[in-house]
Amino acid sequence: IEEQVRLWGAKNFAMKNIKSTAWYPIGQAAIFVLASMEVFRWDNNEIRKMGENAPKVSLVVKLLFKPFVNIEKLAKEIPSFWRKNYTIGWVEVAKIDMDKKEMILKYHDCYFHPALCHFLEGYAEKILQFTRPQGSVLTVKEIECSFNSHKNCEVFQVNWT
């Protein structure tokens, strides 16, 4: 991955210099995802799996999200979590319908490469699964992409059992 990123012009890029607790532009995540796709010949499904695995290995994510025993309480915290961890955009829980078991998340003023959207699908799915009982099914699917629609938001639909 280092070699690929260097080929793209980041001559001093080194994985060993990345700090797990440091702040980085979200575009850097997109570069990492795209480099992974190139180097490992991964498709969007592999990138989604990469997103699913990220919360599993993050102690910070586990500590922040494991205490939420229901999806409604977690939904209230999603905008705050975004503001604390990202320097661009803002997140809105546009809809939560507990009867239909559906939530709509809108990431405003975010222009993500489609590959990063697949990563975010997996990432959000794993975090939200922390609120569900063992054996429940939860899915996150992007339903509107700023990269393709030229709108200023990403929209994800969440469904659960």
- Condensed to tens digits (0 to 9), the pLDDT of residues 93-133 reads 999 999 999 999 999 998 888 999 999 999 999 989 988 88
Q: Give per-residue pLDDT as tens, 43-102.
A: 999 999 999 998 888 777 777 777 777 899 889 989 998 888 888 899 999 999 999 999
Let me know: does 104 contact 91? Beta carbons within 8 Å. no
| Residue with the larger pLDDT of the pair 26 and 120 | 120
Q: What is the DSSP string of 109-139?
A: T----HHHHHHHHHHHHHHHHTTSPTT--EE
Type and span of the H or E element at 92: strand 90-97
Listed residue (147, 152, 151) closest to 117, CA to CA: 147
pLDDT at position 69, please? 75
- Residue 143: phi and psi, rounded to 5, are -115, -10
